[in-house]
Amino acid sequence: MNTVKGMFTNATSRVDGEKQTDLPVLLPVAAQTRKAAFIERREGTYRLNMQPRHLVWMLVIFILAAATAQAATPEGLITPMAALFKWMPFILWGPEGELTGFALNLIISFFAMILGTVAGAALGLMQVSLLLPVRQGSWIVTQFFRNSPWLVLLFTIMLLFPFEIDLGFVVIPIPDWVKAVIGFSLPVMANISEVVRGAVISLPSGQWESAESLAFTRRQTMWMIILPQCVKRMVPPWINWYCILAMSTPICSIMGVEESVSFTSQALNAEGDRPEMIPVFYSFLMVIHFVYTYPIARWSIKLEKQFAVKT
């Protein structure tokens, strides 16, 4: 775009003041470039362009829903808001002495992201290997887990993994949340693999040629030259995938993992499954997930703008 702009800066002018380019063949290219830039600015404006006032509106809607539920409460029964405050510690971090509920959602997301990042980085580097079998095999693994439904992968891991491993001298139990970590790490691994591969191949070929001219080996080039430059390209999508993972962890409640959704259902069951309480309790779940993931998502956009590649 800078090239096109520079060419039009050197445009000649007619006597009547109307500008005329000496390269009219570039006019269609300039029009397409302006259109692409407009679309990019528009998408950048509306993509997750949420402000703190949106959180205020969510809280207002939550309060209105709570007030409506309060009005629908039969006389003599506990109100939905009172029930929510009663069960809020149970939903957030579970019974005393245990770390479950919403805290378990965060634990699952942390460990699944760490495991998926390590495995995904290795798989992504294998995709740019010079060995054809390694490159094709890693591509197949990446595409398989990347295009598989997360819930199906979670069901597969939860049902195939044993409840415990007997080593003869010791029995190692495998809790459900550990299986959930493994199940969530598989699609994360595949998507991080694509992030790493895309960052590596996005660097100009001159980086490889310059390193080769200085007698660097391929391993030295990768670890000392290529990957350090890829970090800033990989950080924004990495954070974005963590947000997606954190918002996806509630689906493990289907398999009986004692996280926030499971404890919310238990709290509602303890209160008699009253219909007027359902909007209040699940709206609270939406709010706490939003409060946690929204600042991370905004940080991702800020880093994306900061690390944008200037061309």
Give pLDDT tens digits for 89-143: 999 988 876 778 999 999 999 999 999 999 999 999 999 999 999 999 999 999 9
Q: What is the number of other CB atoms lying within 10 angstroms of the CB of residue 187?
A: 24
pLDDT 10s digits, 63-96: 776 777 667 677 777 888 888 889 999 999 888 7
Integer-rounded Cα Rg, in Å, for the chain is 27
Instruction: Tell the burial category of 120 from Cβ atoms under 10 Å away from its Cβ (0-12, 13-18, 19+).
Output: buried
5 vs 85, higher pLDDT: 85
List the structure tokens of 14.
């007619």
| 94/217 Cα distance (integer angstroms) | 53
Domain with CATH 1.10.3720.10 in the chain: 54-306
CA atoms within 13 A on the CB side of 177: 19
Number of Cβ within a 10 Å radius of residue 156: 13
Contacts for 23 with CB less than 8 Å, ≥ 6 apart: 7
Q: What percent of the chain has pLDDT over 70?
A: 78
- The whole-angstrom separation of Cα 245 and Cα 115 is 12
Contact (Cβ atoms closer than 8 angstroms) between residue 259 and residue 94: no
Task: Collapse the DSSP code of 166 into the 3-class scheme (helix H, G, I; strand E, B; otherwise coil) and give the result.
Answer: strand
pLDDT band at 29 (very low <50, low <70, confident <90, very high): low
pTM (two decimals): 0.76
Instruction: State whether CATH 1.10.3720.10 applies to domain 54-306.
Output: yes
**Alpha carbon 125 to its chain's center:** 21
